[in-house]
Chains A and B, each alone.
Chain A
Amino acid sequence: MVKSVIAQHVTKVYRMYQSTSQRLLDLLLPLRTGEEFYALRDVSFEADKGDVIGIVGLNGSGKSTLCNIIAGVIQPTAGEIHVDGQTSLVAIQAGLSTELTGRENIEQKCLMLGFSKKEIRELESEIVEFADIGPFIDQPVKNYSSGMRSRLGFAISVCVDPDVLVVDEALSVGDAVFSAKCMDKMNDFKRRGKTIFFISHSMAQVKSFCEKALWLDRGVVRAYGDVASVVPEYERFVKQNRASAP
């Protein structure tokens, strides 16, 4: 199998400071003062082409940080990540300019992703059709509902035909019809041998769609393997946590 994503000992450290003066001192002096917070600690895994991997974990366990690292938005503090091909990140905050219209956002986003004038013209109609938000496509994005925004964001991210797709809880705001459409598109990606990372708190979605699962717990990989073995384990963990909570 050809590997598409290889993460080796990926660690991301953020520093927490007691005060702003401490933050400034830390920046100016070579000594490191602030308390370290490990968003990810020594995360290693490999993904094959065509893998659909669900990333599960409680809030604050490092799921979004890992997604951002895979997408190349942020750099790991230590360790290495190799991604084969173009990645596309779908997040609820999809980075749309609210003053511009949907159509203008499509062009802007595609330009930023490095597409040429001609390619953008071809992509545009496909994206407009997929987003399917009617006349709103020529209205400023600030007038959109949250569902329309995520539709547009998702449409742009999938139509640029990435090799690796990272979906960060983006489907939770769309309606059932659109979710089904997204699932169809992602299944199509799966068939064409693309790698998909899928973050969701809905275990039903993860179980039905993903083949593998990566369970993160406070920045550490607790388990990585088949959905059938990892997800039930995670669900037991959640149940225990709920039982111990007052």
Chain B
Amino acid sequence: MAAVALVFREHLRNLYLIRRLSWFELKAETRKHYLGFFWEIFNPAVQICIYWFVFGVGIRASRTVEHVPYVLWISAGMVVWFFVNQAVLAASRSVFSRIRIVAKMNFPASIIPSYVIISKWYPHLVLTVLLLLWFSLRGYMPSLYLLQLPYFMFCLLLLLVAVSLITSTLSTVVRDVHMAVASLMRVLMYLTPVLWSPKGLGWLELAMKANPLYYVVEGYRAALFGDGWYFLQHARYTLYFWVVVAVLFLIGAVLHGKFRADLVDYA
């Protein structure tokens, strides 16, 4: 419990630090290339086109999903997925690649994965706004239901922070964990309703709902396409989601607390 309190305290007391460091992180990342931030937008756009072409035009032959054109449906999922994928991978290696720089007893080590996640959140925010503009042009005007988008974004951020506390600690101790996380992310993309919808597949749908990302992706869609208050209509699922986040956070905080003092020796 002390570990949980420590992680909470470090985050609350260092909000300004998290903001600045995430900003520097983004700057350092985009400055590596001449076109910088452009690639953060262009790469997802290319990938959405490819998936739309292969799965939408080819396999599904341009049918709609839940009354929404397929290309829009996958775009709403992909915008979440890009953020998740980049944030999880960057956060997983965040501690072992930085601990030597920040290793000072008074540096709040638990915020390292968090500020790396936030640095990936900025392009996600821009992508989401671009997506909104595009959806408006295609006739899906922002509705009142869009108000739940910040809520689901907040859910996603907390989920990522909880997961990254676990992965960043473990991958510092055993570097192979990072590779395992990378493979897992490849699998997870198909087990999250990003490219295909498991609705009406009975037990398979239920099994896939165990993945908390399912909740977030469906929530984003409900907000973007304006069909209902997802978190209220699925109140029990909302409860399940928060229990999962709490458990992951607890595990992450305990692991972080256990290895915190020796992280430098493993790096």
Contacts and interface: CB of A to CB of B under 8 A. Distances in A.
A71 B104 contact: yes
A94 B159 CA distance: 34
B99 to A, nearest CB: 9
A183 B131 CA distance: 58
Interface residues of A, number: 22
Nearest to B27: A100
A27 B170 CA distance: 11
Given A73-B264, A104-B24, A107-B20, A95 B100 contact: yes
B262 interface: yes
Contact of A99 (B16, B28, B101): B28
Nearest to A24: B174
A2 interface: no
A117 interface: yes
A140 B33 CA distance: 13
Contact of A27 (B21, B105, B173): B173
Nearest to A107: B20
Nearest to B104: A72
B246 interface: no
Contacts of A74: 103, 264-265
A108 interface: yes
A167 to B, nearest CB: 16
B31 A99 contact: yes
Interface in A94-143: 95, 97, 99-100, 104, 107-108, 111-114, 117, 140
A75 interface: yes
Contacts of A75: 261-262
A112 B265 contact: no
Contacts, number: 56
Nearest to B17: A111
Interface of B is mostly: helix
Interface string B1-37: 0000000000000001100110010011101100000
Contacts of B21: 108, 111-112
Given A97-B24, A104-B24, A140 B101 contact: no
A106 to B, nearest CB: 11
A163 to B, nearest CB: 13
Q: How large is the interface on B (under 10, 10 to 19, 20 to 34, 35 or more residues)?
A: 20 to 34
A95 B101 contact: yes
Contacts of A113: 104, 106-107
A100 B101 CA distance: 14
A18 B165 CA distance: 30
B125 interface: no
B105 A72 contact: yes
Contacts of A140: 31
B173 A117 contact: no
A73 B262 CA distance: 10
B24 A100 contact: yes
A159 to B, nearest CB: 16
Contacts of B106: 72, 113-114
Interface string B91-116: 00000000011111111000000000
Contacts of A114: 106-107
Contacts of B28: 97, 99-100
Interface in A47-91: 71-75
Given A73-B104, A111-B21, A104 B27 contact: yes
A95 B100 CA distance: 7
7 contacts: A14-B265, A24-B174, A27-B173, A27-B174, A100-B27, A112-B101, A112-B104
Given A14-B265, A27-B174, A73-B103, 11 more contacts: A72-B105, A73-B104, A95-B100, A95-B101, A99-B27, A104-B27, A107-B24, A111-B20, A111-B21, A112-B107, A140-B31
Considering the complex of A and B, which 7 residue pairs feature the smallest CB-CB distances, nearest first? Answer: A99-B28, A72-B105, A95-B101, A73-B103, A75-B261, A74-B264, A99-B31
